[in-house]
Amino acid sequence: MKRTNTFVARLVPLLAAWLAHPVIAQSSPQAPQSDPLKADAPAPTLVYQSAFSQYQALGNGKLMSWKEANDAVGRIGGWREYARQARQPQTPDAPVAPDPHAGHAKP
């Protein structure tokens, strides 16, 4: 019997919300609709906003030719230097996570 009371207690608010939904939906004011078959019927004003209107440029970095850029990368150490930097932790004091597979034995 207790289970039925719990079911009814949950069902009543849902049922009330479901029944009130059409009343709430119809009570909101609607904009007058123009007749789509009339060519001279008023239409809502369209507003255009470019996707680039809020764009901010990256900055005034030094521009160089591709040859100078390649030479600079070569002086740094090339792609191997970038790979070495990517393997290093971001902060030198960062704790090393324990190996999650340390307790497993190989078959």
70 in any annotated domain: yes
For the chain, report the end-to-end CA distance as a whole number of angstroms. 56
| pLDDT tens string 38-55 | 888 888 889 999 999 999
Backbone angles phi, psi at 98, to 5 degrees: -65, 150
Q: 21: closest CA among 30, 32, 13? A: 13
CA 38 from chain centre, in angstroms, equals 41
Least confident of 5-19, 22-36, 43-57: 22-36
Q: Are 43 and 34 in contact (CB under 8 A)?
A: yes
Report the number of distinct structural domains present in the chain.
Answer: 1
103 in any annotated domain: no
44 in any annotated domain: no
54 in any annotated domain: no
Q: What pTM, to 2 d.p., does this model score?
A: 0.27
Alpha carbon distance 86, 82 (integer Å): 6
| pLDDT tens string 81-98 | 889 888 887 766 666 778
Domain extent for 80: 65-89
